[in-house]
Amino acid sequence: MHGNKSSLRLEGIFHRSRLALEECRDRPIVIGMKKWIFLLFVGLTSYGFYKILIHPMKLYVATGNPHKITEFKRLMALHGVDFPVLFGGDYGGMPEVDENGDSYEANAQLKVEGLEAKIGEGRWIVAEDSGLEVSALSGDPGIYSARFGGKIPQTERNQLLLSRLSNSSDRSARFICCYCLKSPDGKLYFFRGVCEGTILAAPQGGQGFGYDPVFQPNGEQRSFAVMSDEQKDRISHRAMAFNALLRFLKKP
Ligand code: IMP
């Protein structure tokens, strides 16, 4: 992680250990089985201690949304994320945030700041905001996707969307996802992912969540709600934004 002092200190320790190992490489070392087991135990314990307590990177994800947590965890596993990541339940719940920003970026930032007010400054915090933009509806529901049609079940929301498009030949739409990342030194970074597609004539499939049954990504013959998790993770707006976020976090 960029400019992190504890990371530099650890690099120093690893470097000195490497030198010490190289020095004794040519000397014969004969030790018994018990000592090997002891050394293995010490090694594994230190690694666990390093990862949990003094790892330079610990990421707080500002969400309590189970769908988003599931997708985030899947993407982490897919990319082999090796630093600790904490979600809503791990820090006593995501506080209520009034998402009154005028963009995905602004709403994601509000979520980051909402969590920061709870857990304190000087941490890596990330939040996400996403939505569906339909061309024939001038980009609606967009940042209001979760509230489109008011407090109604998602199946009704999807039907409402389809009825608004019943006379429209332009079915093009896109899912947008934006991550806002705040670094311990207070800097903000934004990462966007877009998935272009079309709105189907009728809902299709029972997987996923939200508008998945009515959205067919370009190049596919089925809705997001028919695809497996792995298939969605290859092309989704969230996957694209996540890739950009991860590239940034892993940058030396
Ligand atoms: P928010 O980011 O919590 O404001 O919610 C975004 C809303 O956009 C969700 O409630 C869903 O309705 C919709 N949405 C975002 N991403 C997806 C997706 O991958 N599939 C289906 N619906 C989504």
Give me the pLDDT at residue 2, please: 45
pLDDT digit string (tens) for 28-65? 556 677 777 777 877 776 655 555 555 567 999 999 98
pLDDT lower than 50: segments of the chain: 1-3, 5-9, 12
Active site residue 185: no
Same domain flag for 36 and 81: no
Give me the pLDDT at residue 38, please: 76
Mutate to test the pocket of ligand 1, among 204, 209, 220 (most ligand atoms within 8 A of CB): 209
Q: C-alpha angle 71/108/216, rounded to 5°?
A: 45
Give me the pLDDT at residue 80, please: 86
**146 CA distance to ligand 1 middle (Å):** 6
Same domain flag for 72 and 138: yes
Which of the residues 26, 90, 102, 129 is marked catalytic?
Answer: 129
pLDDT digit string (tens) for 120-129? 999 999 999 9
Same domain flag for 85 and 26: no
Give me the pLDDT at residue 13, please: 52
Q: Is the dihedral of CA 154, 171, 145, 76 positive or negative?
A: positive
Which single residue is written with the structure tokens 């709600």? 225
Same domain flag for 20 and 85: no
Domain count, the chain: 2
Q: What is the DSSP letter of 3?
A: T
Same domain flag for 70 and 50: no
Please give the residue range of the domain that contains residue 20.
5-54
Same domain flag for 75 and 139: yes
Same domain flag for 45 and 145: no
Site residues for ligand 1, CB cut-off 6 Å: 65, 99, 129-132, 145-146, 175, 208-212, 224, 236, 238
Same domain flag for 126 and 217: yes
Same domain flag for 163 and 46: no
